[in-house]
Chain A
Amino acid sequence: MMLDVKDLRVYFYTRNGVVHAVDGINFGIKKGETLGIVGESGCGKTTTGMAIMNMISRPGKIAGGSISIDGREISSLTETAMRKEIRWKKVSMVFQGAMNCLTPTYTVGKQMVETIVYHTRMEEEEALEIAKKYLAHVGLKEDVVRRYPHELSGGMKQRVVIATALLLEPELVICDEPTTALDVIVQAQIINLLKRLKKELNLSYIFITHDLSIEAEVADRLVVMYAGKIVELGTNEHIYGKEPMHPYTQKLLASTPRLREKVDELDFIPGTPPDLLNPPSGCRFHPRCPYAFDRCREEEPDLIEIEEGHRVACWRVR
């Protein structure tokens, strides 16, 4: 396993109490694999990504569990060591709303070169060549290095951000909603680009999105999260091929718009994700679950392997 996350817990210690944003999740990623993380807003997807970068901001904290990259435990590393050795070298990230991720007062080249020079002690000219190489990789012209972010279109900025993520040839790239703010044409281009780069550079991705149709396109395996917990984990085939096992996943798929099929009314899940300050007892999904029975309200289901590589946390599948 390239990345191994065991029993990860991220808590936010707010004035009103402790928010269990991520509560004991386990997953791993192999080299060259894409892991998709899906779920509603506020279910802990981004928090998981940020935890892997060890960038949980106050009042949040990694409260327990372990994250290891290539066998090296990182959750206990100091901030300085983290910045020097892990961030961008091993793991890089394409942030949610990548539009605002470029410093407006720096040229594209300057921010790329700065990153390379700091990590590798390379000469600036050499670093500039690398920056140009990766800009070419994502289909941008060399002269983009002299441009300021505000002079680029949304799609171009997104490409710059992706190129920046690849500069130091990391093993894992966390893509947090990389295409959400883009129109469908550019979205398709970016998805294809990410898939191509993965093949060329043998990257691993964590692909965080709430858009299941994109996930179907890119992910090898999927993690479905609900209220800070993993409710279902399986290969693309398990989730999309046949009927998924967890009622939440089923509902989530049913609420995705279909292209070739006219639906009278799109399905939706009644209610909202639970308040993580006071999560419901038992299974966290039971207040919104159409199949809930007594046991769901009382006991929390474990993530049980029901077939090779397919785990579900639901009492119904026992």
Chain B
Amino acid sequence: MNWRYVARRILAGFLIYVLIIFIYSCIFNAVLEETARANIEEQIMQEMMGLRNVTPEQMANYRENRRAELYDRYHLNEPVFQRIIWRTIDTITFNYGRATSMRSASQSQEARDIVFEALPNSILLFTTDILISFTIGLFLGLKNAQKPGSLTDRSTSIGALVSMGLPSWWLGMVFMMIFCYTFKIFPTGGIHSVPLPQGIYYYLDILYHMALPLITLVVIGFWGNAYIVRNLAVSALQEDFVTSARARGLPERKVLYGHTLRTISPAVMTMGVLMLLGSIGGNLIFEGIFSWPGLGRVYWVALQQNDIPVLVADLSITTGIFIMGVVFLDLIYGFLDPRIKAGD
């Protein structure tokens, strides 16, 4: 591995991140400043309530001084371009400011807390989903590729068409109707029971709440994975080196899971990682349906309540995760396929 290439690639990723955050800052600057000003006024009002034995002039004076002081601290007096730069720096250093109306589960008003509380929930649900549907898809796809045109192969193709056309949130609602109302097997939403169970039951409770959204995602997801893997593998299996490996007497297991899978792994890996990134970053409706307290639901609520600081926090975190994922892909290509020479 070429370490200079790694460093350069990570740096490039970071610069792209800064650029995108800068663009966000330009777009949201006016609203964010308005929020900041409102917060300052509120703070001054509270401080003034604590003042005793002061004349109205002193009150007005205090307000003026305090406002100037705080505007200065938050760089609100500077020209607009510099204000945007300050906004960008704040966003990159995770200083998103206070939410206008949303609260985190621990009653924090900081936008940062709200987003960082939601992040692990999204990661938990969607990583588990991708791991399961990816594994099923991989094995099913490779099996189908061995016998193209077989019954399982054709049904997988049809299944992929149907499941790709089917919105996951719609299937979620249908499943919810069946498994939560008709047969009361699963809870209708959320991630915890009330009251909060203790010890090992805490985790089992999360699993229990995660089951139905997970089943929905896997049922809808693995067909597409299988279909993509199948198509990649079918063309790889036509290659001369596969014929040659078979001629060498190697067992089919080694030919399929070794030579073939290894060769298509960059494409398969790209598919998996991009799918995961897409889900973590923005499954608004799906998380909404299951009241899953993840990033998608934070988007949803922030949009509804016009909570711009939380929205910016959510956006910058999902952008960051996405860029990290893409940089990661770039770096592992070199390992997966020696023909992709890093750094040249």
Contact = CB atoms under 8 A, between A and B. Distances in A.
Interface of A: 53, 55, 80, 82-84, 86-89, 92-93, 95, 97, 100-106, 111, 114-115, 118-119, 148, 150, 161, 164
A95 B339 contact: no
B254 interface: yes
A92 B262 contact: no
Contact of A118 (B239, B246, B251, B339): B251
Interface in B223-281: 239-241, 243-251, 254, 258-259, 262-263, 265
A84 B252 CA distance: 11
Contacts of A111: 245
B337 A95 contact: no
B336 interface: yes
Nearest to B239: A100
B150 to A, nearest CB: 11
B247 A103 contact: no
B339 A88 contact: no
8 contacts: A83-B246, A84-B249, A87-B246, A104-B337, A105-B259, A118-B249, A148-B339, A161-B244
Contacts of B165: none
A103 B265 CA distance: 13
B262 A106 contact: yes
Given A95-B240, A95-B243, A105 B250 contact: no
A268 B178 CA distance: 75
B249 A119 contact: yes
B248 A87 contact: yes
B52 to A, nearest CB: 78
A1 B246 CA distance: 26
A95 B250 contact: no
A209 to B, nearest CB: 17
Given A88-B249, A164-B248, 12 more contacts: A55-B247, A83-B250, A87-B246, A87-B247, A88-B247, A88-B248, A93-B247, A102-B244, A105-B259, A105-B336, A118-B254, A150-B338
Contacts of B248: 87-88, 92, 115, 164
Contacts, number: 76
A114 B246 CA distance: 12
B239 A105 contact: no
A115 B250 contact: yes
B342 to A, nearest CB: 14
The 9 closest A-B pairs by CB, nearest first: A87-B249, A100-B240, A101-B244, A83-B249, A148-B338, A88-B249, A103-B241, A105-B262, A115-B248
A115 B247 contact: no
Contacts of B339: 104-105, 148, 150
B254 A104 contact: no
Given A100-B241, A104-B337, A115 B263 contact: no
Contacts of A86: 249
A86 B240 CA distance: 20
B244 A105 contact: no
Contacts of B244: 95, 101-103, 161
Contact of B262 (A84, A103, A119): A103
A105 B242 CA distance: 12
B246 A104 contact: no
A106 B259 CA distance: 8
A87 B247 CA distance: 6
Contacts of A104: 241, 263, 337-339
A103 B258 CA distance: 10
Nearest to A112: B248
A118 B253 CA distance: 12
Interface in B185-211: none
A88 B263 CA distance: 23
B259 to A, nearest CB: 5
The winner among A95, A161, A164 for most chain B CB atoms within 10 A is A95
Contact of B245 (A92, A103, A150, A161): A103
A101 B241 CA distance: 4
A82 B252 CA distance: 12
Contacts of B251: 80, 83, 118
Given A105-B336, A150-B339, A92 B247 contact: yes
A53 B243 CA distance: 11
Contacts of A119: 249
Contacts of A93: 247
B247 A95 contact: yes
Contacts of A101: 240-241, 243-244
Contacts of A53: 247
A96 to B, nearest CB: 8
B292 to A, nearest CB: 39
Contacts of A55: 243, 246-247
Given A118-B254, A148-B338, A150-B338, A102 B241 contact: yes
A12 to B, nearest CB: 16
A274 to B, nearest CB: 27
Nearest to B250: A118
